[in-house]
Structure 1
Amino acid sequence: MSEGDSNVNVMEDYVQTTIWRKQQECYVRLNNTQQEEIDGLFCPGLFDGWVCWPDTAAGEAASAPCPEFIIGFDPSRKAYKICEETGEWFFHEEYNKTWSNYTTCINKEDLWFRQMIVTLYIVGYSISLVALLSSLGILTYFKSLRCARITIHMNLFGSFTINNFLWILWYNLVVKHIDVIKNNEVWCRGLHAVLMLFLISNYSWMLGEGLYLHTVLVSAFISETKLLRCMLLLGWGLPIIFVVPYAYLRYTFEDQNDVGCWMDDGKFFILLQIPVAVSIFLNLVFLANILRVLYVKLRQQPQGGSGASRASLQALRATLLLVPLLGLNFLLTPFRPDKDGFWEYLYEVVQAVTASLQGLCVAILFCFFNGEVLAQMKRKWRAATFRPRANSCTVTTVSVRKDASKKRKPIDEIGRLLPQNNP
């Protein structure tokens, strides 16, 4: 048996083990529990494969909690089984067997809301993906913008682009397919690990943005080439250090309750929370120190002197706005409200909007509202718009000069006809 088949059977083994245990408990309960005497006909208790049903009087309906081991069922809801007037359990002719009503185990309103949240995620990530690809195209086209800071921006865009694309795949290929989650496919767990890798890279590159600003403004005498190499190692190397052990430990020590494509956080998820928390904390420390240094420099700067560059100040402002936004999801996680309430629905909507549109905010703050990028685009637009008019002006000027030279000839001839005052 291959590894894939073995992993697929993990969930099935868990379900079968749970069903066998519940079946034994049902037989013990039906044999040992003293049933009240039921007048007239009744349906004898039985185990239908999911739920244990007690003896039920004819013409009545028995109820039981929905099985918690079935994906999509709400254990807080009730399932029903009807005992016919004849003393027999309801027989469903279409299925050709006695039938229990489990349709009530699905909260249709909650199901619609969950589907709406998934759609919200997909739309948000798609919008962010388009904005990020546009930003990468703009920064690649204008080669005059190439510098260490723009290179860091492009790597940040790249990490967000890949992450957003993977999220779209996750929701379309995994979340929407119950069979994939139930079978716990190997590829879906691999997709989860890669997804977490590039999710952590978003935060590590934001840490790189803050560290670069801090180094340039606080320690002015440093090689940008060496600094950029350190940023590349930090941005792409740090996630690997945490995600590889996370995936190995979860794969090796996963239990039967932790198999649904690793959609639940699990006990090893703290390995991914550590770099996120550290990145946000260090960025806040860097930005606070940058503000302190800028304030000191501005106070000590003589009148008319040049302080920090405008580009650096714009990057600082963008980073100040972006760090709280990127950390919002992480900060909201401990405050998840109870299920089936208004605040849970509001929480899910806020999470979906803030998470899926992070890429759009990155593109807006570091590209679309970037003063250098806007200046280059305006210069390119003017060159493309006014070039034909400049050529026409040149032609007009030449023609005017030729006409003027033609008009001067008769004036010269008249001058020769006038009497000359010789001394």
Structure 2
Amino acid sequence: MEITGDLVKNLTDPSVVSICKQLLLETEPDDGRTYCPKVFDHVTCWNYTLANTTAVGGCPLSHPQGMIFSQQGHSYRQCQSDGTWFVNPYTNTSWTNYISCVDLTEYENLQNINYLYESGYLVSFVLLCLAFIIFTCFRQLHCTRVTIHKNLFLSYILYGMTWLLFNHLVTLEVALDSPVSHIT
């Protein structure tokens, strides 16, 4: 994405804003050598880079998709010998390596929280199924109040089952198809 004044107005990270404002004023080097163009990769701005070199930048404070970055690493962007940025074969778009910027301990904590959610939904699902079976099987429990509770339990069972299926099938599939999961 080309760096423009409108782009800089929409940025929120102060460090990225200052970098992009500086790059907005830069002109392409006129020394006869091949350069990759200045570019915005939806996270930060990158200056003109000499062909066949790697541009190194700092880690931004935040990521548009909510990734949690550590300020201790560096980001990298590879300029090819023909003056184009490296294209990730999985996404078919130019790519910046933010791997050393990702705070993995925070992601492990988030994964543990997700396991806690899953176990809570699973326990709830099993106990609600058990209660629903008890209310359905024993004839002496048939009354309006129990019928209302059976309907309530059934709605919670369906919601819990839907959440568990969605979390395991859709969310996992999206994570596996994500360009981040293809980075080694």
TM above 0.5, yes or no, is yes
Residue in 1 aligned with 2:117? 121
1:176 is matched with 172
**2: CA distance, partners of 1:44 / 1:30:** 15
**Counterparts of 2:153 and 2:21, CA distance in 1:** 61
**Matched residue pairs, number?**
142
Partners of 2:116 and 2:75 in 1: CA distance: 34
After TM superposition, give the deviation of residue 47 of structure 1 in Å: 3.6
Q: Secondary structure at the match of 2:3?
A: helix
Change (3 A) 1:138 1:102: same
Cα distance 1:146–1:52, how it changes in 2: closer, same or farther (>3 A)? Answer: same
| Equivalent of 1:54 in 43, 47, 67 | 47
Tell me the CA shift for residue 143 of structure 1. 0.2
Where relative contact order (Cα < 8 A, 6+ residues apart) is larger, the structure is: 1
- Given that 1:61 and 1:82 are in contact with CA atoms closer than 8 Å, whether structure 2 keeps it comes out as yes
Greater Rg over alpha carbons, structure = 1
Instruction: Please point out which of 51, 60, 66 is paired with 1:65.
Output: 60
Q: Is the 8 A contact 1:73 1:105 kept in 2?
A: no
Runs of 4+ aligned structure 1 residues displaced above 4 Å come to 26-29, 43-46, 58-61, 75-79, 179-182
Once residues 45 and 144 of structure 2 are traced to their aligned partners in structure 1, the CA distance between those partners, rounded to angstroms, is: 67
* Mapped partners of 1:163, 1:104: distance in 2: 38
Partners in 2 of 1:45 and 1:76 — Cα distance? 27
Alignment-mate amino acid for residue 32 of structure 1: L
1:89-104, aligned counterparts within 5 Å? 100-104=96-100
Q: Percent identity?
A: 27
Q: Distance in 1 between matches of 2:112 and 2:58?
A: 31
Structure 1 residue 32 and structure 2 residue 38: aligned?
Answer: no
**Within 5 A, what are the aligned runs for 1:312-327?**
none
- String of CA shifts for 1:300-323, please: whole Å, max 9, x gaps: xxxxxxxxxxxxxxxxxxxxxxxx
Q: Secondary structure at the match of 1:134?
A: helix
Q: How far has the Cα of 1:109 moved from its partner?
A: 0.9
Aligned to 1:80: 75
CA apart distance, 1:53? 2.4
The two structures, once aligned, show a CA RMSD in angstroms of 4.4
Gaps of 5+ in 1: 1-19, 35-42, 84-91, 183-423
- Contact 2:121–2:164 under 8 Å retained in 1: yes
Q: Trace 1:277-292 onto structure 2 (pairs within 5 A).
A: none
Deviations along 1:193-244, whole A, 9 cap, x unmatched? xxxxxxxxxxxxxxxxxxxxxxxxxxxxxxxxxxxxxxxxxxxxxxxxxxxx
1:159 is matched with which residue: 147, 155, 160? 155
The Cα shift of 1:121 comes to: 1.4
Task: Supply the AA of the counterpart residue of 2:3.
Answer: Q
Letter in 2 for 1:53: W
Q: Do 1:67 and 1:75's aligned partners in 2 also have CA atoms closer than 8 Å? A: yes
1:62 aligned counterpart, secondary structure: strand
1:99–1:158: structure 2 CA closer, same or farther, 3 Å change rule? closer
Alignment of 1:262-411 (within 5 A): none
Q: Pick closer, same or farther for the CA change 1:135–1:44 going to 2, 3 Å.
A: same
Q: What do residues 10-49 of structure 1 show as CA deviations (whole Å, max 9, x unaligned)?
A: xxxxxxxxxx3xx233998546248xxxxxxxx9674466
For residues 48 and 24 of structure 1, the distance between their equivalents in structure 2, rounded to whole angstroms, comes to 6
The structure whose residues are more often strand, as a share, is: 2
Q: Are 2:127 and 1:134 aligned? A: no
Contact 1:44–1:54 under 8 Å retained in 2: no
Q: Distance in 2 between matches of 1:147 and 1:81?
A: 67
Q: Distance in 2 between matches of 1:66 and 1:45?
A: 25
What runs of 5+ residues in structure 2 fail to find an aligned partner?
8-19, 28-33, 79-85, 179-184
Q: What's the TM-score, normalizing by structure 1?
A: 0.27
CA deviation profile, 1:314-368 (whole Å, cap 9, x unmatched): xxxxxxxxxxxxxxxxxxxxxxxxxxxxxxxxxxxxxxxxxxxxxxxxxxxxxxx
Q: Distance in 1 between matches of 2:24 and 2:57?
A: 18
Q: 1:31 to 1:157 in 2, by over 3 A?
A: closer
Task: Write out per-residue CA displacement over residues 81-113 of structure 1, whole angstroms, 9 at most, x where no aligned residue.
Answer: 389xxxxxxxx9xx9xx9853102322111111
3-state SS, counterpart of residue 24 of structure 1: coil
Task: Please name the residue that 2:81 is paired with.
Answer: none
What one-letter code is carried by the residue in structure 2 that aligns with 1:118? N
